[in-house]
Structure 1
Amino acid sequence: MKILKFGGTSVANAENIKLVKNILQKNEGTKMAVVVSAFGGVTDLLLSTLNLASQQDLNYENNLNKIEERHLQTIKELFPVELQSGILSKVKSELNDLETLLEGSYLIGEVTPKLGDKVVSYGEILSSFIISQFFKSEGIELELKNGRELIITDEVFGSATVDFELTYTHCNNYFTNTPHKVTIIPGFVSSSYSGKPTTLGRGGSDYSAAILAAATNAEVLEIWTDVSGMYTANPKLVKQAKCVAHISYEEAMELSHFGAKVLYPPTIQPVLHKEIPIIIKNTFAPDDEGTTITKNKNGSGKTVRGISHVSEISLLSLEGPGMVGIPGVSKRFFETLSHEQISVVMITQASSEHSICVGISDKDAKKALLAINKAFEYEIASNKIKEISIESELAIIALVGDNMKSHQGLSGKMFSTLGKNNVNISAIAQGASERNISAVIRKEDVKKALNTLHETFFEENIKQLNLFVMGVGNVGSKFLEQIRLQKSYLKEELKLNLRVIGISNSRTMAFHENGIPLENWQNFLDEGQKANSERFIQAIKELNYRNSIFVDNTANKTIASHYATYLKSSISVVTCNKIACSSEYSNYKELKKLAKQYNSPFLFETNVGAGLPIIDTLKHLIASGDKIIKIQAVLSGSLNFVFNNFNDTTTFHDVVKQAQEEGYTEPDPTIDLSGIDVMRKILILARESGHELEIEAIKNDAFLPQESLETNSNEQFFDSLIKYESDFQRLYQNAAKKECKLKYVAQFENGTAKVGLQEIPKGHDFYSLEGSDNIILFYTERYINQPMIIKGAGAGADVTASGIFADVVRIGNF
């Protein structure tokens, strides 16, 4: 014999009920008990209606009309007109009885648990009748059996306790003697010894089915719902969640206790002792394998089987010196909660006996606070116990698995994973069976925590990076294109999955929670909202994604000023914007400190040398114990391009204009030609070498006329270059006479730095530097006679974008 239970979503409407009929017909010839829930959402509507009536709010009548319309409409869609009359008559009769009960509640202005059981049971009573009549009309031979005649309980209305001995007797008598292959039974409902209507509590339809399975020694209990089994995490919150083919009873209980909605926790208990398999199946995808729940016979399987959570949790803490060594404090504490019908979800206690902390539902927090304050009134007044504290709007997140106890380091892995993503933990608990590890976190961090832990324990080490890109001009657009082209490679070879969640230029910004399609990001951005750097930050915080990285492709001072805000939110920063790292030394150090404090990398490789590994190499030298003695470098790709192409057959104006048009200079070319850009770069290298230096201390031997430096627009600047062409030609001729080349050189030695135009003779390492290349010489204690040389393209959108890309990959590999 099989027991099949169909939940509210499976019987939510006429279309879904027809799917249930198809499932039954596939089991034709098998003896079945089919337990059905109320139509989806009806139980909540009944509770809401009763609540309104008890408050003497006439809006309860509107709800009642909705309930009636829902059932009558389903009948009209399921049955031909000629079959509707008798069914409508029966349903309206039941609804009239329901209306009478609600009117009574309205008149007296209150509701009792006994009345609540009567009212809320109408959902299953009505659905089971309609469904059974439809199945009969479709040729399925069956009987409708009232669950109240089978499941007997005490008279604790609202959540009755089952008398299993009497219930099993009733079930055996019925199923042994019934000639029908199929029996339809309303779930959730039961009756007391004296025949009064009771219910089994929310989720009680699952429980009804489990009781029937145990009573009849069924071969299997099938729970049909709207998902294809139990998942490694909630698939609505974790897109990468996978269905678990097989888990143990104990694992299923832990997962359902911690929020896995597909199974009501008490369901497992009746079938566990008789080792009746439970199969979770999808009504809307009946051919999917689903999840089978059985005894774990050999201890095989993955260490962590699932990650679940419970929302709307409050932490209630009792602490004080008067608790230490005093017997009975815990007893009084938990008895008080028990008397108030408050369920405790999680318990932690300090080994010093100084405090007890419990997790309870948010809805019970106020009631618990009042009760505990009253129970410990004397101890609080005499300062033996502190004022009771409650922290609300929390959630419990739990790792579950039978084999966790045999693996070391799981707790450390869990907590370090959460810590890296700035998920603060308020309390921790681990069951004595070592089958679960639970942590209390902020409610708003649940999605990030679930995804982060799922990535760590289930996704074959594929790490997802969520990028927020500011600036999509020359460099930014190349960066996005590189991500698009390399996405598959990164996933397959480096186990990194890059998603661009947000992008912005100076006009508009746009976000997509599942990733912006990089094939047409321009169109997506054009349809976005007005750009605002503050709102951009706020949007990233509200999304609260794991492994979030802010990428700054601008040269904007305001954007750079926000880095600290990102880092404090555990959002990594990758930037080619040199402003932050060349600002006041105190700001530079603060950003570096925040990156360590909040475990949010702050990388700026492209600040010097675009895509060349200059800063990274310097870091490795310092980390290995080497010491920088001197740095000599040509660090401006734009200036090198200019002086490599400027001669007596060209004009300085035309060469600079060409450099700007080809993307070698900043949008404002005075930043490059004034030497400010090179000053910033040598300053950053000096600081990364361990020296405290401000930009004002760097000597700048400027070659531009003062008038050019003081222009207010690009047009004025280029006009000034024409005016002073003879001065630039003189610089060239003087160098040419000596068979030298002009190079703009930066140098740092003995704690001091300088930049300026130099005449470089033949044979020097800088002499043959072509195009827009950069070159840097590191003289160190290990490289004292022959310096370490790094040379290559030091400007251009492609190489700068590749340097930013490399920094993002570095973060992915942290």
Structure 2
Amino acid sequence: MKILKFGGSSIASAANINRVIDILKSTSENNQIAVVFSAINKTTDALINMASKAQKQDDTYNASLSELENNHFDIVRELIPVNNQSGVLSGVKKIFNQLENILEGVYLLQELSPKTNDTIVSYGEFLSTFIITKALQCNEIDAVYKNSGELIVTNSNYGNAVPIIDLTDKNIKEYFANNNHNITVLPGFIACNQQGEKTTLGRGGSDYTAAILAAALEVEQLEIWTDVSGMYTANPKLVKQAEPIKTLSYSEAMELSHFGASVLYPPTVQPVMNKNIPLYIKNTFHPEDAGSFITNENVKGGGIVKGISHIDNIALATVEGNGLIGIPGVSKRLFSALSEKKVNVILITQASSEHSICIAIDGNEVEKAELAIQDEFAYELSLGKIDPLHTQTNMAIVAIVGEEMKSHQGISGRMFSALGKDNVNIHAIAQGASERNISTVIDAKNVKKALNGLHAEFFEGHITKLNLFVVGVGNVGGKLLEQIEKQKAYLLDKLQLSIEVVGMANSKKMIFNEEGIDISADWKQNLIDNGEELNLDLFHEHVKEMNLSNSVFVDNTANATIAGLYADYLKESIGVVTCNKIAASSEYSVYAELKRLSQEYNAPYLFETNVGAGLPIINTLNNLVQSGDQIIKIQAVASGSLNFIFNSFVGDANFAEIVDQAGALGFTEPDPRIDLSGVDVARKILILARESGAKMNLEDIENKTFLPKASLEADSIEDFKKTLISEASHFEAIKEKAAANNAELKYVAEFVNGKANVSLQEVDSKHPFSNLQGSDNIVLFFTERYPEFPLIIKGAGAGADVTASGIFADIIRIGKG
């Protein structure tokens, strides 16, 4: 014999019920079965809501009752053949009339006792089983209905009654010994006390009903049918990569269900575990799926950690004070007081100093817990031996579960490391002696991030997923998206790195998609059509609210306002990657603060492209300094735009035309004054000086400009460009002088002996700066290890492709950790 149980979502519509009937037909071909049903989806919630409204004399409960009645009528009309409908509809109407009378009594008396509430909520299961039994019979299936309340006997703890096993087992065995029907339909959740009054087994109690039947009859297997394909490695609604667990032990299933895996009601496991009855969790909508198999046998394989689970709406309550130290019986008094108020303690931790006891409870029971502790410890509180109860709300418990955890070292370390990497603060930790569960209490806002981080650590083969929020998707940003899309498969295969763009913005619009924006398709049109108006503060709020693991803010702009937001992102443990030089070259205090925040919040702040576009200049400098080398001098041609301009400014070339050409190629900033004035180069040598350890500001850089006074005093870009024409003779003189000296013009930045300067210089053919092509950059590092012959980095230092590649390299660096 087999016992099957179907949840509310499995019978939410006539179509779903027909699927269930097909499963029952197939299962009962060679087996006698008993099948337990929950109420039709959301019915129990609706009944609870109606009862509450009736108690408050809110007569809108009548409208809710009519709506629920019509929903059931609609299912009957679609499910039952026309010639059989009238009898079924009248039976449903009779049940609703009984329910209406009870609700009316609650309304008139304004009283809703636990006993009455149990009676009201039991109608959901009576309705579903009545309808389904009739549907089976109309399909000429040998089915009979049996009221579970006549079999399962409990105490009188209404709302969460405890079965009296001896009486219950006797009733079940006697009934089924004389029952020869192929299928027996029973309502889940419902029981009766010894006086014959209705009780219920707690929310989710239909699973428990099925387990009680299975254990009493010692059946060959119990099947729990739901809307997912088993117990998952994590909540699939929160962790996209979660997968069904093929096999797990009863102990593992019990731990996971207790800590929030809602697919299985926790008390369900014990009855079948005691009788060694195999338990299957199957998917009504995909019956071909293997589902999860739960057994008493020694379960091996499937990973050290079997699953990650969590409980929402947790409050952390801490009792502490010197009066706890060395005093026997304090814990007993605490838990007895909580028990009397029916406050369930979910998790307990106590420091070895005995100075404090920390408990996790349901967030809805904080007030009851406070009153219980105040009453019990009133004397100690009055003497100051115990501090007033400290509570923290908006918490959640996240637990990892696995039978094999106890035989493997370092599991807790990996767990805490994964949480710490995402800056998820742990408020409390608990681990039982069995070592099959490690539980942590964290802020509720971090649950999704924590689950995804832990899932990546224990189930995804160490694949790291980065979630990018990209601002600036024009020239450089567009190339970056192209490169990411092109390299996605390679990065996943070779580096176990998955990169998703989950947010992006241009100067007008912004768009977000937690599952990832499709950058292989027409993302530009998607941004135009579906994006909302750009608001940088709102963009930041969206990023915070999404709260994704390994989030990185990517700034491809030269915008000062955006640069001013970096600190806000770093404080949220969101990494920052940028080609925007403004932040790193602003006041030293700002630069230092961003560096500090990066360390404090474990959030990378990378700006390799601030100097040399895609060249590994800053990274190389960091490696030298971190390995203990001392910087003696830095010399650089660090402006691709100026190098292009002066490489091209030979022979009959016109200076103004070359500047225009550099702008058209994307080598200069939109405002060419930034490049030609030397400010851009000054910012770059300032950044290199700071990365070398110098505490400098931009005004400390000596800027020996080559521009004439008229150009320096121009009020606008247009006026500036006009001066390049009107002052042509000035630029020609510079060119001719260099030619006469058989030298090349290079705009050089230098840092030596704590001082820095930028200037246009003539270099001869033997100098390393000679013969730089196009927009090439070059940097010479003279150090204690390279005192005479410098470490040289040379290559293209401007252009959208190389800049994008530098940004991409920083992103990959974050992913590689």
- TM-score relative to the length of structure 1: 0.99
C-alpha deviation, 1:327, in angstroms? 1.8
Name the aligned partner's letter for residue 196 of structure 1.
Answer: E
Name the aligned partner's letter for residue 749 of structure 1.
Answer: V
Q: Among 807, 811, 814, which residue is 1:808 paired with?
A: 811
CA distance in 1: counterparts of 2:290 and 2:536, whole angstroms: 48
CA contact (8 A) 1:307 1:399 kept: yes
* Match in the other structure for 2:2: 2
CA distance in 2: counterparts of 1:260 and 1:246, whole angstroms: 15
* Match in the other structure for 2:480: 479
C-alpha deviation, 1:248, in angstroms? 0.5
* Match in the other structure for 2:24: 24
CA distance in 2: counterparts of 1:145 and 1:557, whole angstroms: 73
C-alpha deviation, 1:526, in angstroms? 1.2
* Deviates further, 376-385 or 31-40: 376-385
* Deviates further, 535-544 or 233-242: 535-544
Give CA deviations for 1:730-754 in whole Å, capped at 9, x if unaligned. 1111111111111111111111111
* Match in the other structure for 2:662: 659
C-alpha deviation, 1:218, in angstroms? 0.7
* Deviates further, 476-485 or 298-307: 298-307
Give CA deviations for 1:608-635 in whole Å, capped at 9, x if unaligned. 1000001111111111211111111111
Q: Among 764, 768, 773, which residue is 2:767 paired with?
A: 764
* Deviates further, 624-633 or 602-611: 624-633
* Dislocated runs of 4+, deviation >2 Å: 298-301
CA distance in 1: counterparts of 2:13 and 2:635, whole angstroms: 77
CA contact (8 A) 2:38 2:206 kept: yes
Name the aligned partner's letter for residue 172 of structure 1.
Answer: K
* Deviates further, 145-154 or 307-316: 145-154
* Match in the other structure for 1:524: 526
C-alpha deviation, 1:173, in angstroms? 1.5
CA contact (8 A) 2:192 2:199 kept: yes
* Match in the other structure for 2:717: 714
* Match in the other structure for 1:106: 107
Name the aligned partner's letter for residue 4 of structure 2.
Answer: L
CA distance in 2: counterparts of 1:71 and 1:736, whole angstroms: 94
Name the aligned partner's letter for residue 744 of structure 1.
Answer: Y
* Match in the other structure for 1:676: 679
What is the 5 A alignment of 1:689-728?
Answer: 689-728=692-731
Matched, 1:80 2:76: no
CA contact (8 A) 1:301 1:403 kept: no
CA distance in 2: counterparts of 1:297 and 1:620, whole angstroms: 51
* Deviates further, 147-156 or 444-453: 147-156
CA distance in 2: counterparts of 1:97 and 1:471, whole angstroms: 64
Matched, 1:609 2:612: yes
Matched, 1:146 2:147: yes
* Match in the other structure for 1:577: 580
What is the 5 A alignment of 1:350-429?
Answer: 350-429=351-430
C-alpha deviation, 1:64, in angstroms? 1.6
Name the aligned partner's letter for residue 523 of structure 2.
Answer: W
CA distance in 1: counterparts of 2:13 and 2:527, whole angstroms: 40
Name the aligned partner's letter for residue 509 of structure 1.
Answer: M
CA distance in 2: counterparts of 1:141 and 1:736, whole angstroms: 105
Secondary structure at the aligned position of 2:11 is classed as coil
CA distance in 2: counterparts of 1:285 and 1:473, whole angstroms: 45
Name the aligned partner's letter for residue 695 of structure 2.
Answer: E
CA contact (8 A) 1:256 1:265 kept: yes
Name the aligned partner's letter for residue 395 of structure 1.
Answer: A
C-alpha deviation, 1:322, in angstroms? 1.1
Query: What is the aligned-residue identity percentage?
Result: 57
What is the 5 A alignment of 1:158-557?
Answer: 158-297=159-298, 299-518=300-519, 519-527=521-529, 528-557=531-560
CA contact (8 A) 1:247 1:296 kept: no
CA contact (8 A) 2:580 2:610 kept: yes
Name the aligned partner's letter for residue 327 of structure 1.
Answer: P
C-alpha deviation, 1:296, in angstroms? 4.1
Give CA deviations for 1:8-30 in whole Å, capped at 9, x if unaligned. 10111211100000101112231
* Deviates further, 12-21 or 74-83: 74-83
Give CA deviations for 1:306-335 in whole Å, capped at 9, x if unaligned. 000000111121111111122222111111
C-alpha deviation, 1:67, in angstroms? 2.2
CA contact (8 A) 1:312 1:394 kept: yes
Q: Among 594, 599, 616, which residue is 1:596 paired with?
A: 599
CA distance in 1: counterparts of 2:297 and 2:344, whole angstroms: 29
CA distance in 2: counterparts of 1:505 and 1:714, whole angstroms: 23
CA distance in 2: counterparts of 1:712 and 1:421, whole angstroms: 47
CA contact (8 A) 1:686 1:748 kept: yes
- 5+ long unaligned stretches in structure 1: none
CA distance in 2: counterparts of 1:806 and 1:286, whole angstroms: 46
* Deviates further, 76-85 or 122-131: 76-85
CA distance in 1: counterparts of 2:299 and 2:34, whole angstroms: 32
C-alpha deviation, 1:371, in angstroms? 2.2
CA distance in 1: counterparts of 2:157 and 2:472, whole angstroms: 64
Give CA deviations for 1:196-226 in whole Å, capped at 9, x if unaligned. 2221111110000000101111111000000
C-alpha deviation, 1:300, in angstroms? 4.4
Name the aligned partner's letter for residue 682 of structure 1.
Answer: I
CA distance in 2: counterparts of 1:510 and 1:51, whole angstroms: 42
CA distance in 2: counterparts of 1:770 and 1:153, whole angstroms: 88
C-alpha deviation, 1:68, in angstroms? 1.4
CA distance in 1: counterparts of 2:566 and 2:468, whole angstroms: 15
Name the aligned partner's letter for residue 51 of structure 2.
Answer: L
CA distance in 1: counterparts of 2:608 and 2:302, whole angstroms: 44
CA distance in 2: counterparts of 1:80 and 1:10, whole angstroms: 21
CA distance in 2: counterparts of 1:661 and 1:254, whole angstroms: 64
CA contact (8 A) 1:395 1:440 kept: yes
- 5+ long unaligned stretches in structure 2: none
CA contact (8 A) 1:158 1:201 kept: yes
CA contact (8 A) 1:648 1:729 kept: no
Secondary structure at the aligned position of 2:12 is classed as coil
CA distance in 2: counterparts of 1:532 and 1:492, whole angstroms: 37
CA distance in 2: counterparts of 1:465 and 1:709, whole angstroms: 44
C-alpha deviation, 1:33, in angstroms? 0.4
* Deviates further, 154-163 or 14-23: 154-163
* Match in the other structure for 1:624: 627
CA distance in 2: counterparts of 1:298 and 1:281, whole angstroms: 19
* Match in the other structure for 1:155: 156
* Match in the other structure for 1:53: 54
CA distance in 2: counterparts of 1:597 and 1:668, whole angstroms: 36
CA contact (8 A) 2:248 2:299 kept: no
Name the aligned partner's letter for residue 11 of structure 1.
Answer: I
CA contact (8 A) 1:237 1:447 kept: yes
What is the 5 A alignment of 1:120-131?
Answer: 120-131=121-132
CA distance in 2: counterparts of 1:536 and 1:67, whole angstroms: 42
CA distance in 1: counterparts of 2:302 and 2:239, whole angstroms: 22
C-alpha deviation, 1:301, in angstroms? 4.0
CA distance in 2: counterparts of 1:122 and 1:561, whole angstroms: 60
Secondary structure at the aligned position of 2:765 is classed as coil
Secondary structure at the aligned position of 1:91 is classed as helix
C-alpha deviation, 1:299, in angstroms? 4.7
CA contact (8 A) 2:667 2:798 kept: yes
Give aligned pairs, total.
814
Give CA deviations for 1:315-374 in whole Å, capped at 9, x if unaligned. 121111111122222111111111111111111112111111111111111122122212
CA distance in 1: counterparts of 2:464 and 2:299, whole angstroms: 32
CA contact (8 A) 2:247 2:299 kept: no
Name the aligned partner's letter for residue 340 of structure 2.
Answer: H
Secondary structure at the aligned position of 1:10 is classed as helix
Q: State the superposition RMSD in angstroms.
A: 1.1
